[in-house]
Amino acid sequence: MTPVVQAPRPLHEIYRTPLALLTDLYQLTMAYAHWKAGTAAKEGVFHLFFRQNPFAGGYSMACGLTHIIDFVNAFHYEPCDLDFLATLRGNDGNPLFDDSFLRYLSSMRFEGDVDAVPEGSVVFPFEPMVRVRGPMIQGTLLETPMLTLAGFPSLIATKASRIKFAANGEPVLDFGLRRAQGIDGALPASWACYVGGVDATSNVLASKLFGIPCKGTHAHSWVMSFEDECAAFMEYAKAMPNNCVFLVDTFSTLEGIQHAIEVGQWLRRKGFDMVGVRLDSGDLAYLSQQGRKMLDRAGFSQTQIFASNDLDENLISSLKQQGAKINVWGIGTKLITAFDQPAMGCVYKLAAWRQPGGNWHYPIKLSEQLIKISTPGIQQIRRFYRRG
């Protein structure tokens, strides 16, 4: 995977509302109890990790660190946050939090350390992706936002990496915006796709915010808005002769390829080249093979064949085994939603604590389920390489 060199736009520029309350209530109630008990300054070490690789795979890919860093650097409570917390009530109708605690929160800034594997690193179960060390109250308050900012992006980055691996070096495009789980599912997912190795996105806002290359074709509605397919292709070519990828399966795919060839010949006379044709339905292996023959016979050997239509790594591998002549893969629903596994299952566990200046204590969470037993101690990852 090519390392990601451009960090995404900071969180506070994407979301104008303050984000300190992006948490579960129990993080705040535990923080309040630490404050009341006098243990807020106790030092704690927390690890963020996952227990099983997603998609029944052999590895995962860490993603979300850049936004975690943004969140931690900007972590503070705005007056409007504290005004809201003051409205919360307990079962007896009295305020849930003392005013003095809210004043304490108003001056809080993160004072600890965050260590993590780099964005886009390959990671494995039970290895800490992120380690937080600092005052117990602050480490407690960071649990939910860190899980939110790391879990879903890591899931999507892993899926993207698997798809890119199946494509065997051929370009993969993120076409998932329209199938994403809302705006907040689309933007971090497009970033995670890029971290996972996807080459470009159709998501224009993600391209603007994160610096991802932007690619796209046209829809069936373009073809259907004209009297015939050939006229639709011709008008599209006249409008943007330097960006012609024709969607050829609106009516009859092989006839659509022939119409694309006719318009491609007109483009050549104007000094341009047809970039490609896109297949979005039917037997993609057979249609791409026939389409490749038609394009080659007409002198369009450099014209690429794009494919979409609910693809994932398994279908890409199957199509390759069938000898499909596809050059570019457009992946939508099954990438942007991690269709076959909806959650990463990241967890955030306390692994060590001490009173200021005291000796470390190493707590362990026990469970009847072996996989849920935590690993105590302040952990570090060491990776050993063999033959490079």
pLDDT number for residue 2? 46
pLDDT tier at 18, thresholds 50, 70, 90 = confident
Q: Which whole number is the average pLDDT over 224-230? A: 97
Residue environment code for 143-175, b if the CB has 16+ CB neighbours within 10 A, otherwise e: bbbbbbbbbbbbbbbbbbbbbbbbbeeebbbbb
Whether 249 and 256 have beta carbons less than 8 Å apart is answered as: yes
Whole-prediction pTM value? 0.94
Is residue 179 packed enough to be buried (19+ CB in 10 Å), middle (13-18) or exposed (0-12)? middle
The H-assigned helical ranges of the chain are 11-14, 25-37, 65-73, 79-85, 99-106, 136-141, 143-167, 183-195, 204-210, 220-224, 229-239, 253-269, 284-297, 313-321, 333-336
Q: Is the pLDDT of residue 373 over 60?
A: yes
Residue environment code for 28-53, b if the CB has 16+ CB neighbours within 10 A, otherwise e: bebbbebbeeeebebbbbbbbbbeeb
State how far the Cα of 297 lies from the Cα of 287, in Å rounded to an integer: 15
pLDDT number for residue 7? 62
pLDDT tier at 305, thresholds 50, 70, 90 = very high
pLDDT tier at 13, thresholds 50, 70, 90 = confident
Q: Pick from 266, 264, 260, 297: which is nearest to 279 by CA?
A: 260
pLDDT tier at 15, thresholds 50, 70, 90 = confident
> At 135, phi and psi to the nearest 5?
-55, 135
pLDDT number for residue 5? 46
Q: Pick from 84, 123, 176, 120: which is nearest to 2 by CA?
A: 120
pLDDT number for residue 14? 79
Tell me the per-residue pLDDT of 87-98, one tens digit each, with 9 for 90 and over: 999 999 999 999
Q: Is the pLDDT of residue 1 over 50?
A: no
Write the secondary structure of 47-104 as one string of H (helix), E (strand) and C (coil): EEEECCCHHHCCCEECCCHHHHHHHHHCCCCCHHHHHHHCCCECCCCCECCCHHHHHH
Q: Is the pLDDT of residue 101 over 50?
A: yes
pLDDT number for residue 16? 78
Residue type at position 8: P
Residues facing 306 on adjacent strands: 278, 328
**Two tokens at 20?**
């300190």
- In CATH terms, the fold of domain 167-336 is TIM Barrel (3.20.20)
pLDDT number for residue 11? 78
Whether 131 and 47 have beta carbons less than 8 Å apart is answered as: yes
The yes or no reply on domain 11-155+341-372 and CATH 3.40.50.700 is no
Q: Which whole number is the average pLDDT over 296-320? A: 97
Q: Pick from 188, 184, 118: which is nearest to 156 by CA?
A: 188
Q: Is the pLDDT of residue 281 over 60?
A: yes
Tell me the per-residue pLDDT of 250-260, one tens digit each, with 9 for 90 and over: 999 999 999 99
Q: Pick from 259, 224, 265: which is nearest to 241 by CA?
A: 265
Chain mean pLDDT for the chain: 95
State how far the Cα of 151 lies from the Cα of 211, in Å rounded to an integer: 22
The residue ranges of every structural domain in the chain are: 11-155+341-372, 167-336
